[in-house]
Amino acid sequence: MLTQHDAEGLVARYQMDPHPEGGFYKQLYLGQTEGQPDGRPMFSTIIYLMEKGKMSAFHSVTMDELWNYHSGLPVVIVELLPEGKTRESILGCGVGQVPQIVMRAGSMFGAYPLDDHSGSDYSFLGCVCVPAFRFSDWNMPPRATLLAMYPQPEARAIIEKLTYP
């Protein structure tokens, strides 16, 4: 039986679609276009779900992206820094976690649910992009490209974990 408290139930309830980077999403709102020089909406919002054991593959967008934690498992967000180091933040409501985080335009980042042994099988999040998200602004480099860009040993293991072969 599906419930609104499991991954499959939430995906069905919100009629979410698979996202190319992993997980499921549903766009909920596009901001106004009035007064925008290029006619692009001011912002967009989505809900996003990752199942336990899955990932959001490394990607970048050309605008700032605000991630908000809603429910389920906390999420580890990993950013690849230019010098090949990584920065990890935990999105959640527990000790040492943050309920929201901004990924700056051009940041290369990925994410995965942190198994907190709560019995939850998902992470349920929201994302806001300013200006509005368009897939033409999204980039998900292949694993080989990221390994060439970030040859440092510290980056290799996480790149292999958060990319598709």
pLDDT digits (tens, 9 = 90+) for 42-92: 999 999 999 999 999 999 999 999 999 999 999 999 999 988 889 999 999
Average pLDDT, the chain: 93
Q: Which residues in 92-118 are b (16+ Cβ under 10 Å) and which e?
A: beeeebeeebebeeebbbbbbbbeeee
Q: Dihedral of the CA atoms 32, 33, 34, 38 (nearest 10)?
A: 160
Q: How many CA atoms are closer than 13 Å to the CA of 64, on its beta-carbon side?
A: 8
| Residue-level pLDDT at 109 | 98
| Residue-level pLDDT at 84 | 84
Q: pLDDT tens, 109-147?
A: 999 999 888 889 999 999 999 999 999 999 999 999 999
pTM: 0.92
Among residues 155, 135, 136, 137, the alpha carbon closest in space to that of 146 is found at 155
Q: Which residues in 11-50 are b (16+ Cβ under 10 Å) and which e?
A: beebebeebebbbbbbeeeebeeeeeeeebbebbbbbbbb
* pLDDT band, residue 4 (cuts 50/70/90): low
* pLDDT band, residue 1 (cuts 50/70/90): very low
Single-letter code of the amino acid located at 84: G
| Residue-level pLDDT at 82 | 85
Considering only the top CATH level, what class is 7-161? mainly beta
| Residue-level pLDDT at 2 | 44
